[in-house]
Amino acid sequence: MKRIIKIITLLVAVSALWIGLLQTSVLPHSYTWLLPMYSIVSLGCYGLLMVGVGLMRFPTCPHEAVLLQQDVVEAKEFLKQRGVDVSGSD
Amino acid sequence: MEDDGNDKGKNKYSIIVPTYNERLNIALLVYLVFKHLRDVDFEIIVVDDGSPDGTQEIVEQLQNVYGEDRILLRPRAKKLGLGTAYIHGLKHASGNFVVIMDADLSHHPKYLPSFIKKQLETGASIVTGTRYVKGGGVHGWNLMRKLTSRGANVLAQTLLWPGVSDLTGSFRLYKKWVLEDVISSCVSKGYVFQMEMIVRASRKGYLIEEVPITFVDRVYGSSKLGGSEIVEYLKGLAYLLVTT
Ligand SMILES: Nc1nc2c(ncn2[C@@H]2O[C@H](COP(=O)(O)OP(=O)(O)OP(=O)(O)O)[C@@H](O)[C@H]2O)c(=O)[nH]1
Ligand SMILES: [Mg+2]
């Protein structure tokens, strides 16, 4: 099943549940009316939280840049001896 | 036809490297590949799109050092884009496995052995390099770049549920026939292409394994992906939502 159909199915199911709630009034009506709002806000919060956590835990590797520089020096040395032109942009 | 490399000794890896104005990087990359892949049968296929900086001259010099059978230059006349560069390279690949990597040294050849090892251990159809797990990482990105990357990832993970942690990374090892199968069903261009490849492969049920890689932003040369990356990304996401 295409992803979009899955998502739409989920949305339809949730709305059906909500309409059901509205009609049976197990919860007070005023509260049920606000539920979609709450869910959208919490979805947004979840997204922001995930991005925030991702940013805070963003894995960095400054040491790798140093290692790469050493590799570059080594490679240039080797290649120059064998007649490969490695001059230019430094 | 489908040689999955159960017999370890017979495996050959074709490393496809698309280049555009990478004269220095390609030389450094080739040296590092030879340094880190010692007991492995491999070839490097350089697909150069008529770089004006003379990348092809350098590749010819490298052929003199390492041999024309190890370094294959398969150029195209003009800049035709990354997606088709892979397809072009793939046509000339003689290995039963294919590695795709960038020339700009953001994909360090020292990780090649771990890709190969992972594949042999798991029999995976695809091994993909991921920056977002323990042992992986990125260097040289500013806050904005990190933010977009995280945002894009959260969006794609929630909507597409692909089962892979790094969707846009393009350092990957494929069984050759799997790559041929997946690439023929991909239509996206540029940045989205990598994401489409891995999402389609995952939907087709291929076993995908991950290995951590570190990613150092390019030091030499300049970026070829410009401008409206975010818009393109969102369009690509929408496209994948309705087609996969
Ligand atoms: N043959 C070919 N290679 C290309 C083309 N565009 C980009 N490349 C190569 O594809 C690889 C990835 O391109 P990059 O410009 O590094 O893209 P990026 O990694 O997203 O951007 P950076 O931040 O600059 O690293 C490099 O090896 C480029 O030389 C193209 O049109 N044709
Ligand atoms: Mg790059």
- The number of the ligand nearest the C-alpha atom of B168 reads 1
Q: Which residues of chain B have pLDDT under 50?
A: 1
Task: Indicate the number of domains in chain B.
Answer: 1
Q: Please tell me the distance in Å from B93's CA to the nearest CA on chain A.
A: 25
Show residues of chain A in contact with B58, CB under 8 Å. Answer: 84-85
CA B72 to chain centre: 17
* Structure confidence by residue, pLDDT tens digits, A35-84: 999 999 999 999 999 999 999 999 999 999 999 999 999 999 999 999 99
The predicted structure's pLDDT at residue B82: 87
Range of the domain at B23: 8-243
* Structure confidence by residue, pLDDT tens digits, B16-52: 999 999 999 999 999 999 999 999 999 999 999 999 9
- Can you read off the two tokens belonging to residue B184? 């023929």
Q: What whole-number distance in Å separates Cα of residue B241 and Cα of residue B244?
A: 6
B109 in a domain, yes or no? yes
Count other C-beta atoms under 10 Å from residue A69's C-beta.
12
* Structure confidence by residue, pLDDT tens digits, A13-33: 999 999 998 888 788 888 888
Residues in chain A: 90
Where b means 16+ CB within 10 Å and e means fewer, B83-93 reads bbbbebbbeeb
**Which ipTM was obtained for this model?**
0.89
The predicted structure's pLDDT at residue B214: 97
Name the residue with the closest Cα to ligand 1, atom 20: B225
B1 in a domain, yes or no? no
Query: What is this structure's pTM?
Result: 0.92
The predicted structure's pLDDT at residue B1: 47
Backbone φ, ψ for residue A60 (5° rounding): -115, 165
Burial class (CB in 10 A: 0-12, 13-18, 19+), A19: exposed
The predicted structure's pLDDT at residue A10: 95
CATH number for B39:
3.90.550.10
B2 in a domain, yes or no? no
Name the residue with the closest Cα to ligand 1, atom 30: B81
- Can you read off the two tokens belonging to residue A45? 């919060």
B28 in a domain, yes or no? yes
The predicted structure's pLDDT at residue B2: 56
Q: Kindly give, in sequence order, each residue whose CB lies less than 8 Å from that of residue B31, ignoring residues fewer than 6 positions away.
A: A74, A75, A78, A79
List chain A domain ranges: 2-81
Q: Is A58 on the interface with B (CB under 8 A)?
A: yes
Burial class (CB in 10 A: 0-12, 13-18, 19+), A72: buried
The predicted structure's pLDDT at residue B7: 61
Name the residue with the closest Cα to ligand 1, atom 12: B102
Ligand 1 pocket (Cβ < 6 Å) reads B 18-20, 22, 47-49, 79, 81-82, 85, 102-104, 106, 217-218, 223-225
Cβ–Cβ gap A51/B154 under 8 Å: yes
Q: How many CB pairs under 8 A join A and B?
A: 104
The predicted structure's pLDDT at residue B221: 77
Show residues of chain B in contact with A85, CB under 8 Å. Answer: 23, 27, 57-58, 61
Contacting A with CB below 8 Å, chain B residues are 23-24, 27-28, 31-32, 57-58, 61-62, 64-65, 105, 108, 131-134, 136-140, 146-147, 150-151, 153-155, 158-161, 214-216, 219-221, 240-244
Q: What sign for the dihedral angle of Cα A52, B188, B159, B229?
A: positive
| Among chain B residues, CA nearest to A72 | B28
Cβ–Cβ gap A75/B31 under 8 Å: yes
